[in-house]
Structure 1
């Protein structure tokens, strides 16, 4: 979060995005340690805090391993960074070279003039960044039966199309296994990659294998987790008291676990999107989704 106190340096939470991607380069037998050192020097960081995570013939991807104490020192550093890189043997910088970041590190590309007025620029930048992240959605199908190819995943193509036509940048994730550690890992990865919305389908039932609600509450203990239907625990396959959905927040990311049946996803997803458009909180979102699922299960109309 942006904070300014008197003469103290401005600090900014980087929304878990500390990745820089530099494209339009030419790399031939380049020493990656020299690249990390050049980037660190340009951004006034310790060389140990810069890691080259991927390198191709025409691009680099770097991670900053710690938050800068003062985001202001990164602003407007595009020219200095590219000049430092151009001095490295085997690395060429050209007119097509660009620096990309989905996070707050985009301030590197600010013009020197805007960098001088950083407080105002940062306010605008944060707003634009929040809006961009809120429109990035990761779709996570779940279930060993989908992984094994026994069951067709009809939910992901439907959700991809629905979110896309509603103005979202949608990406399909890998199928998540019926394992809580795997589920937590998949959610954490999506959060770290800067998705503002993560929607899973399936894994919300009453069997022991169903763990998506538990994965979300492990990351967001105050998540809303209302029941869609309740059972008597211990009867048949009902290890748990019923089928639930979940809506929770981890920093800038909303996590949503929907039930798995395709007919239910088709009912619930438009309600989710409308609730997001209206700015509803997690309790209201979850309640509205459960209401439409109750109506479908019991044949009663939704009022309101």
Structure 2
């Protein structure tokens, strides 16, 4: 069960004495106890009888830290130069304070929270919000055909679906827009902004909120060719505070191709990696068969009108994932 730390991410061990201790090793040992990647926990303060760590993630699994105080103390004392006093203890504000629960209390708390979450989800009609992205829509240059289509599709499937405002092509704007809507929705879908140009940030916004988001490639490019500043086109599926976040391409034919897959995956609660790969494979399949949205199309653009993006990046610069480019062929 994932829990939101609500920005209270500091963990303090009191009654700890260090002498010549490697702080990187200390943080890595503590991270392993909490089932965190070593780079997601860092030492931020050392005092004569205290060490403070900061968790560099917005959410953690309750099972990974509830009742873990004894394990954490037993692990850090094995690091060279660390000594614990008889009063050694772990303290934290907010939900991380559950580290100090004993094992029975922790198990009971997780079970209660899981039951409560299941009951809430069972009695709440899921809300879906669709956000178009891009300056073309902000300025009224093209028609948004994606949002009405997606809202209608999810509404007919029994969800409360509604359009969101146009999100600007800026990483901060996209991230804050997703974060703000996630507390009131079960699913957020963005269209456009998944390409390889310097104005495409939909996938990166999801990765900011969920570093473990699934982001499979659709097409690979040679970075620096034309306007490409990234290695290719990806879609993204992540989670934030219990809300599923999905970044779809902008071309309308690709939205129509992938939306039924998204609808089924959301209804059946597919894991995000499975959902992302099935969406990606549908688009790759269209590339391989030379459909109207071939690899020369601009997913960087927001192409919500079928022809709005036809003039964009150089044709022949892209290859569907799994295809062999001329460079790769020459090297093989």
Unpaired stretches in structure 2, ≥5 consecutive residues:
7-110, 292-332
Q: 1:198 — aligned with what?
A: 188
TM-score w.r.t. the length of structure 1 is 0.57
1:245–1:257 CA contact under 8 A, matched in 2: yes
1:249 matched to 2:233? The reply is no
Q: Deviations over 1:199-257 (max 9, x none)?
A: 00001000000001111100100000001111101000111111100000112111100
2:179–2:240 CA contact under 8 A, matched in 1: no
For residues 14 and 207 of structure 1, do their structure 2 counterparts lie closer, same or farther at Cα, with a shift above 3 Å needed?
A: closer
1:272 matched to 2:259? The reply is no
Instruction: Name which of 267, 280, 295 aligns with 1:290.
Output: 280
Q: 2:167 — aligned with what?
A: 176
2:4–2:241 CA contact under 8 A, matched in 1: no
For residues 264 and 251 of structure 1, do their structure 2 counterparts lie closer, same or farther at Cα, with a shift above 3 Å needed?
A: same
Q: Matched residues in 2 for 1:181 and 1:132: separation?
A: 33
For residues 189 and 146 of structure 1, do their structure 2 counterparts lie closer, same or farther at Cα, with a shift above 3 Å needed?
A: same
Instruction: Name which of 213, 226, 237 aligns with 1:236.
Output: 226
For residues 173 and 133 of structure 1, do their structure 2 counterparts lie closer, same or farther at Cα, with a shift above 3 Å needed?
A: farther
SS in 2 for 1:280: coil
1:133–1:196 CA contact under 8 A, matched in 2: no
Which range moves more in the overlay, 124-133 or 240-249? 124-133
State how 1:13-162 maps to structure 2 within 5 Å: 126-131=117-122, 135-162=126-153
SS in 1 for 2:188: strand
1:15–1:252 CA contact under 8 A, matched in 2: no
2:190–2:248 CA contact under 8 A, matched in 1: yes
1:213–1:245 CA contact under 8 A, matched in 2: yes
1:134–1:196 CA contact under 8 A, matched in 2: no
SS in 1 for 2:169: coil
Q: Matched residues in 2 for 1:135 and 1:15: separation?
A: 23
Q: Matched residues in 2 for 1:137 and 1:15: separation?
A: 24
Q: Matched residues in 1 for 2:153 and 2:143: separation?
A: 18
For residues 132 and 249 of structure 1, do their structure 2 counterparts lie closer, same or farther at Cα, with a shift above 3 Å needed?
A: farther
CA shift, 1:183, in A, is 0.3
Q: Matched residues in 1 for 2:231 and 2:221: separation?
A: 5
TM-score w.r.t. the length of structure 2 is 0.52
Unpaired stretches in structure 1, ≥5 consecutive residues:
3-12, 17-119
Q: Matched residues in 1 for 2:125 and 2:209: separation?
A: 19
Which range moves more in the overlay, 132-141 or 230-239? 132-141
1:140–1:198 CA contact under 8 A, matched in 2: yes
Q: Deviations over 1:271-302 (max 9, x none)?
A: 0111122221010000000111111111189x
SS in 2 for 1:137: strand
Q: Deviations over 1:35-90 (max 9, x none)?
A: xxxxxxxxxxxxxxxxxxxxxxxxxxxxxxxxxxxxxxxxxxxxxxxxxxxxxxxx
The root-mean-square deviation of aligned C-alpha atoms, in Å, is 2.7
Q: Matched residues in 1 for 2:120 and 2:141: separation?
A: 40
SS in 1 for 2:131: strand
